[in-house]
Amino acid sequence: MKTAIQLGNMRFYAFHGVNEQENRVGNNYTVQLTVKASLKQAMLTDDISDTLNYAELYETVRKEMEIPSRLLEHVAGRIILSIQNRFPEIKGGKLTVTKEKPPISGDVESASVVIKW
């Protein structure tokens, strides 16, 4: 059995970007996270100590989103490293970090970095 936990549409206002204006004004971001972990014991026991704590997983993402970076790739890499350090039981996952209305010419709703590990 393959099991995972997903936190979807986590919303943040952060200051990531190459342009000075992005660093000063900020932008809206969304983060999608799916992590692979065994949930078998929690399925049997109904005990929170047998699963990943969703709130702690969210806090790990939130703390990294608060640190300004020039590149979304860097933000995503930091999030993954923090998750791996905090939750060694996670066996991989998928992370999407999305910047809404990126400052590029053209009609572009968002720009995202997607990493599977």
Q: What CATH number is associated with residue 24?
A: 3.30.1130.10
For 67-91, write each residue's pLDDT tens digit: 999 999 999 999 999 999 999 999 9
Task: Look up the domain containing 47 and give its range.
Answer: 4-116
Structure tokens at 15: 């200051």
For 11-60, write each residue's pLDDT tens digit: 999 999 998 888 899 999 999 999 999 999 999 999 999 999 999 999 99
Could you give the number of structural domains in the chain?
A: 1
Q: How far apart are CA 115 and CA 107, in angstroms?
A: 25
Mean pLDDT of 1-5: 96
Alpha helix positions (H), the chain: 20-25, 40-45, 54-65, 72-86
Q: How far apart are CA 9 and CA 63, in angstroms?
A: 16
- Long-range CB pairs of 64-67, under 8 A, 24+ apart, other chains included: 65/12, 65/14, 65/29, 65/31, 66/14
Identity at 74, one-letter amino acid code? H
- Count of residues making up the chain: 117
Catalytic site residue 94? no
Indicate which residue of 63, 91, 94, 99 is catalytic.
99
Buried b (16+ CB within 10 A) or exposed e, 71-87: ebebbbbbbbeebeeeb
